[in-house]
Copies of this chain bind each other. A is one copy, B any other.
Amino acid sequence: MQTAMRPGSTRIEAVMAAISERIAARSLPPGAKLPSVRGFAKTMHVSVSTVVEAYERLAAQGLVRARPGSGFYVAAPLAPLSLAQIEPRLDREMDPLWVSRQSLESGLAVLKPGCGWLPPSWMPEAALRRAMRHLARADTSVLTDYGMPLGLLALRQVLSRRMAEHGMGVAPDQIMLTESGTHALDLICRFLLEPGDCVLVDDPCYFNFNALLRAHRVKIVGVAYRHDGPDIEQFSKLVAEHRPRLYLTNSGVHNPTGASLSPVNAHRVLTLADQAGLVIVEDDIFADFEEVASARLSAFDGLNRVVQIGSFSKTLSASVRCGYIAAKPDWIDGLVDLKIATSFGGGRMAAELVLAMLTDGSYRKYLEGLRARLASARDEVTARLASLGIKPVLRPRAGMVLWCQLPSGVDSAVLARHCLQDDVVLAPGNVFSQSQTAGQFMRFNVSQMDDPRIYQSLARGLDAIG
């Protein structure tokens, strides 16, 4: 076989072996960047093209991965260590973390119709400033001490009462505060999942669910989400076939579709879950956007096999981090242990601020105004998008998102890449889709779409593609 080798093959193999050894010894751990081609060529006393060829071959073997424009990185076939390597993906610029990073990293100058939150000017600024001035006079221990493991009792009592309004009898002791809604989900996954377990998500679903689940090394299966909940027939088939441990969803205002779960589908999902011993995590993060609460799996089920999570980042502040888990009493103790082990105290200050804002006399009125403002923004944006041939798939009852179909033949990832050149961050459909079947869809946030430059950029992009 030696004679069949191309010239230079042994040198290429030597470079491959050197890198492989470092990967095996973890001096290059998963996710680490490989030495620069030029630098390593010097180290190994070989040509630059030899190193390039060696890296390419390692990439072909799946041991390393090229990131366009950025270099080579150690791959993590099993591990979530480099989440950028989530499959299926288009490229780094369009994986499930793309929208998050673009939206979070860009400054105020960038327009963000693709992000998942309200503009600062829509938030209850005055109440927050009041809360801070109020808290500046609180007892020293409030300002400096760790919180209780379950989290601030007064806030848990408020949450318990809010849940009662939705027909849920949840004692404050069944509620544990977390650092955020994402943190709540992360703890639940740690508590209930083993690596290799299967988790069912909606297709499309909030893109960060995919990123987070990947960090738990689980298999992700998507069920098609309709205007009134998951496709029940497919749900039943997937449960039988994959025996998922968990179904992760949000019922009230579904992200990204804006759909609401119908009572009949809620009942069907719960029945199927009961039969299969499936636990459901219901992310109720958009609860306060609804005037009249739609069907809740957690309300129907009474927190038997449903766990509810939520946070306050969408309607109070994303700068003040606070979320919660409501679960059956038997699970709380184990969750508290996990929370202490992995994040210790819990943010007392953040919980106090949230409490002050929720109990501020202005909160209900603020929500009423917000709902009305969102409703008229949904109408207005729908009309403006229509003139570009972009149409919402459904008319949401509440919330900030519109899930829209693009004109025939337009790939939303291509359009997003176009508009990014104009400093407009969009949320192309496939970042939400496990099956990558949402290429013709786009999620728009109506609260972030006042600026005419967004529509100008969309028009230019559509022109260029069409």
Contact B341 A319 (CB under 8 A): no
- Residues in chain B near residue A301, CB distance under 8 A: none
- Annotate A342-383 by CB proximity to B: 1 below 8 A, 0 otherwise: 111111111011000000000000000000000000000000
A190 to B336, CA, bound (A): 20
Q: Indicate if the CB atoms of B32 and A141 lie closer than 8 Å.
A: no
Assess whether B120 is in contact with A145, with CB atoms less than 8 Å apart: yes
The answer to whether A29 and B141 have CB atoms under 8 Å apart is no
Q: How far is the CA of A186 from the CA of B179 in the complex (A)?
A: 14
Interface string of A152-185 (1 = CB under 8 A from B): 0000000000000000000000000001111100
- Residues facing B in A16-30 (CB within 8 A) are 25-27, 29-30
Residues of B within 8 A of A33 (CB): 330, 333
* Contact partners of A182 in chain B: CB under 8 A: 341-344
| Residues in B neighbouring A79, C-beta threshold 8 A | 194
- Smallest CB gap from A337: residue in B: B83
Chain B residue at smallest Cβ distance from A24: B277
Integer count of this chain's copies in the complex: 2
Residues of B within 8 A of A277 (CB): 25-27
The answer to whether A319 and B143 have CB atoms under 8 Å apart is: yes
Q: Chain B residues with Cβ under 8 A from A330's Cβ?
A: 32-33
Determine if A186 and B132 form an interchain contact, defined as CB atoms under 8 angstroms apart: no
B117 and A146 contact, CB distance less than 8 A:
yes
19 contacts between A and B (CB under 8 A): A29-B279, A32-B331, A82-B334, A83-B334, A97-B340, A101-B149, A101-B337, A104-B148, A105-B148, A123-B144, A129-B136, A143-B317, A143-B319, A145-B318, A146-B319, A214-B341, A215-B342, A347-B350, A350-B350
Q: 4 extra interchain contacts, Cβ-Cβ under 8 A, other than A104-B147, A117-B145? A: A27-B277, A81-B338, A143-B319, A181-B344
List the 5 closest A-B pairs by CB distance, nearest first: A31-B334, A211-B341, A123-B144, A132-B136, A25-B277
